[in-house]
Structure 1
Amino acid sequence: MGEFGDEQLNEKMGIEIIDWNPDRVVATMPVKGNLQPYGLLHGGANAVLAEAAGSTCAALKSGGKVTVGLELSCTHHRGVREGMVTAVATPLHVGRSTVTVEIVITDEADRRTCTARLTCMVLQNAPGA
């Protein structure tokens, strides 16, 4: 985690990546602590979870090169009030300079709560190099 090891958003939101496969990355996040004022899972929390799973998938598909988010789109289908949500990220396009990933987020009853698409840019050199 380098010099920013204590500033990781995934940790603050309780996100855990539980499957690290280049063709399918799975991450979980608790609903508690990530709510909006109406008591539902915050849409921004869905976006953070989607970016965490999707960018991990993009990095694995690019052979471990540095990937950075270029565009994220989220459609929120249903609210979640408790429990855990699970994101499954699968690659849609793998190119030399971009990787696009679809992320499906579901609740504990396996109902789709959010669908996201993330496009990452593949960097040839690490930032600041």
Structure 2
Amino acid sequence: MYPGSPEVTVIDKLGIEFTEISAERTAGRMPVEGNTQPAGLLHGGSSAVLAETLASVAAQVHAGEGRQAVGLDLNATHHRGVRSGTVTGVATAIHRGRSTAAYEVVITDESGRRVCTARLTCMIIGG
């Protein structure tokens, strides 16, 4: 489950697990099985959900208590298909400001090959 969330989310449904959480770098993994498109490849939307999840969690840690990070812009480039196993994503801060935060997310397969590169910009609101 998403840290601090009492309800089932898309994070739970896709099987995303966090392995590291900080404002500078957040990492996690997701199974390919159950997150594929009809041709049997990892669905690009599943990669996008993983990327946005990791970067949003990092941005929320950066925002701090009493403030909220919300996605503003997401883009993703899919480099190669994956049919099985687990993919790992790492969101690394590009910019952590007072009103916005931006992260690059690199998703790799079990062999360390890049599957997807994404960027998420979040708006920091409240407080």
Normalised TM-score (structure 2): 0.91
User: 1:39 corresponds to which residue?
Assistant: 40
User: 2:107 corresponds to which residue?
Assistant: 105
Gap runs ≥5 in structure 1: none
Comparing 98-107 with 20-29, greater Cα deviation is found at 20-29
- What's the RMSD between the two structures over aligned residues? 1.4
In structure 2, distance between residues paired with 1:106 and 1:77: 10
Aligned letter for 2:74? L
Q: CA deviation at 1:63?
A: 2.5
Deviation sequence 1:52-98 (CA, Å, 0-9, x none): 10101111122343101001000000000000000000110111111
Question: What percent identity do the matched residue pairs reach?
Answer: 52
Q: Does 1:66 align with 2:68?
A: yes
Q: Does 1:52 align with 2:53?
A: yes
In structure 2, distance between residues paired with 1:35 and 1:5: 27
Runs of 4+ in 1 over 6 A off after TM superposition: none
Aligned letter for 2:37? Q
Aligned letter for 1:68? V
Gap runs ≥5 in structure 2: none
